[in-house]
Structure 1
């Protein structure tokens, strides 16, 4: 039962990201500056994250723990987030929400399978299998079906 709950949370997370992308893409169109929508998303995300930490965290990490974290880990996730989010906001008005989300998810899945196979970025290794390759092929075929009119 616990696994089903986590699966439902993961699905809801995907829905939330699609809603966020659509809303902020519209904001970027209205402002005529997709990067300003990225700034708004990042700033409001910071505020909501701090609020959740204040409400949910029982204790903060010890200073020694914080010092042991490599410096790049504090910033590189934010860099890739800004780049990815900005690309979404730029592409959604030009491609449509379903196409952009489909292509974005495909990029995520292809990279995740490669990273898992080779153990990139300190992720657990997962072997590349025929089933995984077929999953990618079927997903790409699904994107073509979504895109074709």
Structure 2
């Protein structure tokens, strides 16, 4: 649904434009403020839905239930090809990144790697993805 909204609707194109260069969107005659409010409201709603899923999975409202998940999220997004510098990324590529991180986490658990070592390995994967993204951006700049 997110992919279709971002790629097939005018509102989705506005959101992508605002995320890439808000000033350019504003100068093209589009007021970014209502779109930003809508995006933040939607993200709040989705965070609440995610919290409900987490509470139902843990069968308790534990405030520490998601500790360490932020590293997995960042890793999935970066591995999926979203640039930390902005201007590049898609829902489909992020989903592929989530699958890769899930397989990595499951594989490390199967091998019996300790939790701190899992975080180190995930961090190394993030660093490798950022380095590859940097080289890819340099290659694109040199061809243009």
TM-score (norm. length: structure 1): 0.31
Larger relative contact order, structure 1 or 2 (CA cutoff 8 Å, min sep 6): 1
Higher helix share: 1
